[in-house]
Amino acid sequence: MTDAEIARAHERELDPERNDARAEAALQDAHHTAAAPDAAPIGDAAAHHEHVAPVPAVAASTTGYYDLPVVKAAPWKWFVPAYFYAGGVAGASSLLRGAALLARDRRLAKQLGRLAFAGEAIGAALLVADLGKPQRFHHMMRVVRPTSPMNVGTWILGASGLLGALELVRPSKRLDAATIAAMITGGGLATYTGVLIGNTAVPAWSHARTAMPALFAASAGASAASLLELAGVRSPLVRRFALAAKTAELVAARAVEASLGAGVVGEPLREGRSGKLWRGARWLQGASVIATVLRASRVAGALGTLAGVMTRFAIHEAGRASAADPRATLAPRT
């Protein structure tokens, strides 16, 4: 080694506890390790031979590698599908508030303003809670990056939240610039999550990357309208919007199913936990449309709310099932 190289080696950060060079991941926290789910522990196998389960022989896969997943599922907790719901309600409420002001219904506009801000505040809290390092949530705003829907979404949610807070402090009496701005960010809030999940290597999400934003938009509208119906808000505007958005949601769900196809990629929407949630949500939403037509608005609201929540969890769960299935990942792209 040259003198320069030796000097560079001496500059290396030293770990005071180990009196050793500190490596790339020396600061990675580790308390417990998760063993493979079907693995048998070997720890002190010789001493406790009778307690050690025989290692199962796993058949070699003819197509892939022991049928192990190729890609990894998003490591998100239930906070994220819950956010998809809350953010969707907030986005659609901001849009609908503009429409209410256009129809000179200030009472409805005020109610929608409150609903939008509640969705934004709860949604932001859910997102921060899901982070591995919640205290670093503001790192999301270090950059502006259009290839990262999560980054763009943070800016949209931030702007939307500010406009929502402004509306609470100083409610708009007509369709002014602040309302129109809130309508634009609301539209973004209701749809960017569809871009976010489509922009992954998870087959059940990415194969529907152009249909997902439409489903998220329609489902956001249906969810906001259902909450208003559930709260007993009597308004012809809400009723018409509820009918339109719920019908659009049923159509968009069909479009998502069609994008995934009848093969292995679409399987999570038909089978397993995600399939049950998805099909259940479709039936509930259909019943909700009928209830809205029959003017049973509280029933319609309850059914629609349940359908909206279930749709988000079905999509999240379908992503998990899809990532775990190597057949879906290795299937040719349509």
Partner 1 sequence: MSETVGFLTDTTLCIGCKACEVACKQWNQLPDDGFALTGRSYDNTTALGASTWRHVLFAEQTSTTHGIAWKMMSDVCKHCERAGCLEACPTGAIIRTEHGSIYIQPDVCNGCGYCVPACPFGVVARSEDDGRAWKCTLCYDRLQGQLEPACAKACPTDSIEFGPIERLREKATARVKALREQGVDARLYGESAEAQPGTEGLHAFFVLNDRPEAFNLPPDPQVPTKGVGRSWLAAGLAAAGLAALAIGAALFGGTHD
Give buried/exposed letters for 114-141 (b at 16+ CB in 10 A, else e): ebbbbbbebbbebbbebeeeeeeeeebe
- Please report how the helices 236-260 and 79-102 are oriented relative to each other, as an axis angle in degrees rounded to 10: 140
Closest separation in Å from C-beta 165 to partner 1:
22
Residue 123 lies near partner 1 (rule: CB under 8 A): no
Residue 288 lies near partner 1 (rule: CB under 8 A): no
Residues 256-285 that bind partner 1 (CB under 8 A): none
Residues 206-235 that bind partner 1 (CB under 8 A): 206, 209-214, 216-218, 220-221
Of 142, 169, 170, 232, the one binding partner 1 (CB under 8 A) is 142
The torsion angles phi and psi of 14, rounded to 5 degrees, stand at: -105, 140
Distance separating alpha carbons of residues 326 and 176, to the nearest angstrom: 52
Residues 75-104 that bind partner 1 (CB under 8 A): 75-76, 92, 95-96, 98-100, 102-103
Closest separation in Å from C-beta 66 to partner 1:
5
Closest separation in Å from C-beta 283 to partner 1:
23
Distance separating alpha carbons of residues 48 and 167, to the nearest angstrom: 67
Q: Pick from 162, 165, 76, 181: which is nearest to 113 by CA?
A: 165
> How many Å is the maximal CA-CA distance in the chain?
86
Residues 45-74 that bind partner 1 (CB under 8 A): 55-58, 60, 63-66, 68-74
Residues 158-187 that bind partner 1 (CB under 8 A): 183, 187
Amino acid at site 299:
V
- Please report how the helices 236-260 and 212-230 are oriented relative to each other, as an axis angle in degrees rounded to 10: 150
Residue 225: partners with Cβ closer than 8 Å, 6 or more residues away: 92, 96, 238, 241, 242, 245, 246, 304
Of 122, 162, 166, 248, the one binding partner 1 (CB under 8 A) is 248
Closest separation in Å from C-beta 294 to partner 1:
12
Closest separation in Å from C-beta 228 to partner 1:
12
Residue 290 lies near partner 1 (rule: CB under 8 A): no
Closest separation in Å from C-beta 79 to partner 1:
11
